[in-house]
Amino acid sequence: MQSGGARGSRADQADQRRAELLEATRRVVLERGLASTRVADIAKATNVSGGLIHYHFATKDDLITAMLRSTSESEVRRLKEIVAEQGTPVERLDRVLRFYIPASRSDQSWILWLDAWAVGVREAHVRAILLELEGAWIEILGQVIADGVASGAFVCDDPQGAAERIDGMLDGLVVRYTLHAGNMSRARLLHHARVAAAREVGLDPGVFPA
């Protein structure tokens, strides 16, 4: 009879292998794109057989879905940590805005999600992850605004609606910033985000730190 420790060890090894495959999938997708990535590409990148990948993930769609969900969950966890940090309502709101916008035009996370948006138009499994991520982001932002209203720092009759409007505006600006060099710098992108957020919560944009 196998001991619980042995079973646990094998389960840990399987979890580690899955995590390695998901990270490799993310790297390959960032290089080749979601639509062009094949299981064979991931097998080559990890130096394993396609059969081993299919042992953990029955189909390519399952593998891509797991990778996107893992990435999404990681980003949402980090956002929750940022929101939970001490600070005034304005500081908490500003941290959310700073976290959302790309660190640069080559921000790997945003490149992945922009690719997913394009694929998600036709692929339901990708679209489902995008909707989960957007829903989590809007819920967290809405709660930050609601907390600010409750403390008396913000004035907003509809925190959820405000979060949805900020989300939609930022998505459009991020696409422009990422895809077009132009004159849209990250500083200008952050300025637009702050102006929009300030208007939604009844503040002057000047309240945000320089």
Q: Is the model more confident about 105 or about 131? A: 131
The closest alpha carbon to 35, from 138, 159, 126, 154, belongs to 126
The answer, yes or no, to whether residue 4 has pLDDT greater than 60, is no
CA pair distance 172, 53, nearest whole angstrom: 36
Q: What is the DSSP letter of 207?
A: G
The answer, yes or no, to whether residue 3 has pLDDT greater than 80, is no
How many helices (H) and strands (E) the chain has is answered by 9, 0
The answer to whether 101 touches 190, Cβ cutoff 8 Å, is yes
The answer to whether 167 touches 159, Cβ cutoff 8 Å, is no
Q: Which CATH superfamily is domain 65-201 in?
A: Tetracycline Repressor, domain 2 (1.10.357.10)
The answer, yes or no, to whether residue 156 has pLDDT greater than 80, is yes
User: What is the reported pTM?
Assistant: 0.88
Give the residue-averaged pLDDT of 105-128. Answer: 94
Counting residues of the chain whose pLDDT is more than 90, the rounded percentage is: 78
Q: Where are the domains of the chain?
A: 65-201
Virtual CA dihedral for 111, 112, 118, 122, nearest 10 degrees? 180
Q: What is the pLDDT of residues 175-204, one digit of tens each?
A: 989 887 677 899 999 999 999 999 999 999
The closest alpha carbon to 34, from 112, 131, 139, 102, belongs to 112
CA pair distance 163, 161, nearest whole angstrom: 5
Q: What is the pLDDT of residues 23-70, one digit of tens each?
A: 999 999 999 999 999 999 999 998 888 888 988 899 999 999 999 999
CA pair distance 100, 193, nearest whole angstrom: 10
Q: Which pLDDT value is given to residue 13?
A: 81
Q: Which pLDDT value is given to residue 180?
A: 79
The closest alpha carbon to 120, from 130, 111, 105, belongs to 130
Q: Which pLDDT value is given to residue 54?
A: 87
